[in-house]
Structure 1
Amino acid sequence: MAPEKQNVVAKKRQAWVYEAPPAPPVSDFFRDTERRQAAFKYHVKDNIQNAAEFATHFGLKLLPIDLCSAIGAWLGAFVMPRWHKGALRKADRNLKQLLPNASDEERAAILKRNMKNQGRLMTEFSIIGRLSKPSKRVVWNNVDWIVEAKRKGPVIMVGLHLGNWEILGPKLVELGFEPSANYTPPTGRARAWIADRLRIKLGYRLMPPGKDGIRPALKILKGGGVISIFCDEGFGGKIRGPFLGRPPHLEGNIAIVTRLARMTNATICPGYILRTNGANFEATALPPIVLPPEETPGDRLIEDVVLLNAAIEPVIRAHLDQWYFLDNSL
């Protein structure tokens, strides 16, 4: 038996069903204290926040690209140490575990760059349409691997939350693909509306999040299409992928991707986008993965999961300063 199989966490994956938070009826303003407070939060307090979110988003759209991104870098370095101290403590613990030979100064520098990158992400969301247009701002490497894989059949694009990953969708559209994405809507009604609207404008077809997205994904792949799934993920504040030295498991998107690839004979195309300087990026496609044959369906599931993890984990480890989930728990 392979060493990976001896240590695998073979817990059956629980299907996750996304449910949007329910809207309290206006009549709850006249009910008991708990329901009245919930109604006030939803209809008054949250809507004030929503208005601020819309004003910020559309206001940032008016700024030049470099200025908009630089504002985000400043905000990340300013806001996170003051109002997200718990997240930074988690990030620091992760850096100590993942980089045991690094000095305190080296880890502090990585964490500072991570804060700035997260801040840039937030403001760049407003200008992603301009940022992702064909230009000298983004250098693309090995795109021909993706194009060749698509000629042969269905493709699962495996993205990573590095640099600014929102740039990927427009590139796939530019290549003539019609990518469909599975993602979890952000918290907050304004943020969710902005995210959906923007991704649709960028050319993505949005699949339902969670369990409800599996059937549409299968249909697209069996029709020879392209879907995009991110295999590094934080769920409930905990990192599910990559494994980062923990036993391989069957929870999360790594297992979903390998199962979908088996069921549809899809080629897995991992890739990532790194920030090089300010609002400039370098995107790299990794070698496509065609899963080896298996004698019995499901017989190689653990090996498949380990194979995909081996492709993406070194990239995450090498670029922790740009990893979005660094402040989640291992």
Structure 2
Amino acid sequence: MAESQKKTGPTKRQAWVYERPPSPPILDLFAGAERRKAAFRYHIRGNIQNTLDLAVHFGLKALPTDMCSGIGAWLGTFAIPRWHQGAVKKARKNLTRLLPDATEEEREAILRRNWQNQGRVMTEFSIIGRLAKPSRRVVWHNLERIIEAKKKGPVIMVGLHLGNWEILGPKLVELGFEPSANYTPPTGRARAWIADRLRVKLGYRLMPPGKDGIRPAIKILKNGGVISIFCDEGFAGKIRGPLLGRAPHLEGNLAIVVRLARMTGATICPGYILRKEGANFEAFALPSIVLPTEGASGDRLIDDIVLLNSVIEPVIRKHLDQWYFLDNAL
């Protein structure tokens, strides 16, 4: 990275603090108009949605694996183009920008496969414990790279939102690790409860989202542990990572990961999971990353971000049809 870029680049990352949605008192149903509307959304409309979410989750859980996944593929291709047209427009714009030499037919085929994968991921959440069990459904490659890195000290697993990424955590547990994850709870109380419950059952330790998760992450790594962070991300509808041709910045998990690695001496272990046919997958551990020696603290921050991005961006570009954040804005 040129010296001029280092001087003009961002110097401080604005910390993001997660705040739970407010819970209005139930007596506000009998208060003034604005408070009554908020209470109605939370206690009436919200609980109807919670009931539906729980019914769908446990209903899908009772289905055979291939049927559950197949329903998701159908739902994705049915619902997304009809009720998420803004997201579809962004995805088409991204595909035009990222695949300028592809034909319109080729880009539309990629988009359709992306809808199918998004739908499958949503319904497969109900059966992820089944999918993640040792079986013929997931073929793993190069796991020794993670195992060897863990023997040397703390590890930051860098995942990507490809295929069905939820399969990664149970595999780390199976290897004897105790992974901790920082993630943003989904909207909706039932959905957040389902996500927390499932990840804990699968063996994850959950760190607080946002800024509040940094101190626990440092402590875990300094004690030789393993944390999981995804470096491809969308925040408020905008893609933060990978860079995809944009200038490096500090507003995202790319910067968090390299800073944590510098502070704790952790090895960065990138990996990803691809969907093959239906509910069948291949998982790959990429070569581990040990950051190069730097002079003064922070001298290589931008270079470190570019280095990590250079590993994950080609994977994302190659598999846009399975990338969860394709329909976020660049």
With normalisation by structure 2, the TM-score equals 0.98
Asked if residue 205 in structure 1 is aligned to residue 205 in structure 2, the reply is: yes
Alignment of 1:244-263 (within 5 A): 244-263=244-263
Instruction: Give the letter for the 1:41 counterpart.
Output: R
- Are 1:84 and 2:70 an aligned pair? no
Structure 1, residues 79-106: CA drift from partner, whole Å, max 9, x if none?
Answer: 1111011100000000000000110000
Distance in 1 (CA, whole Å) between partners of 2:119 and 2:108 is 17
SS at match of 1:269: strand
For residue 108 of structure 1, what is the aligned residue in structure 2? 108
Deviation of the 1:58 alpha carbon: 0.2
Distance 1:140 1:4 in 2: 42
Question: Match of 1:45?
Answer: 45
User: 1:300 is matched with which residue?
Assistant: 300
Residue 192 of structure 1 deviates from its aligned partner by 0.2
Q: CA deviation at 1:4?
A: 8.2
**What does 1:51-70 align with in structure 2 at a 5 Å threshold?**
51-70=51-70
Q: Structure 2 matches for 1:223-242, cutoff 5 A?
A: 223-242=223-242
Deviation at 1:9, TM superposition (A): 3.8
Residue 262 of structure 1 aligns to a residue in which SS? Answer: helix
Task: Supply the AA of the counterpart residue of 1:190.
Answer: A
* Unpaired segments ≥5 residues, structure 2: none
Deviation at residue 11 of structure 1 after TM alignment:
5.1
8 Å Cα contact 1:15-1:211 kept in structure 2: yes
Residue in structure 2 matched with residue 215 of structure 1 by the alignment = 215
Percent identity of equivalent pairs: 76
The CA deviation string for residues 134-191 of structure 1, in whole angstroms up to 9 with x for no partner, is 0010010110000000000000000000000000001000000000001000000000
Relative distance call for 1:8 and 1:65 in structure 2 (3 A) is farther
Contact 1:7 1:247 survives alignment (8 Å): no
Report how far residue 78 of structure 1 moved: 0.4
CA contact (8 A) 1:182 1:228 kept: yes
Q: State the shift of 1:248 in Å.
A: 0.6
- Distance in 2 (alpha carbons) for counterparts of 1:178 and 1:29: 45
Query: What pairs with 1:115-126 in structure 2 (closer than 5 Å)?
Result: 115-126=115-126
Moved over 4 A (4+): none
1:269-312 residue CA offsets vs partner (Å, 9 max, x unmatched): 00000001100000001100000011111111011000000000
Give the Cα separation in 2 of the matches to 1:216 and 1:8.
Answer: 32
Q: Is the 8 Å Cα contact of residues 28 and 39 (structure 1) preserved in structure 2? A: yes
Alpha-carbon distance change, 4 to 224 in structure 1, aligned in 2, over 3 angstroms: farther
Tell me the amino acid that sits aligned with residue 56 of structure 1: V
Q: 1: CA distance between counterparts of 2:3 and 2:121?
A: 39
Q: CA deviation at 1:12?
A: 2.0
Instruction: Name the TM-score, length of structure 1 as normaliser.
Output: 0.98
Count of residue pairs the alignment pairs up: 330
Q: How many angstroms apart in 1 are the aligned matches of 2:200 and 2:122?
A: 18
In the alignment, is the contact (CA less than 8 A) between 1:153 and 1:266 conserved in 2?
Answer: yes
Q: CA deviation at 1:3?
A: 7.1
Partner residue, 1:167: 167
Task: Give matches, 1:13-28, under 5 Å.
Answer: 13-28=13-28
Amino acid at match of 1:327: D
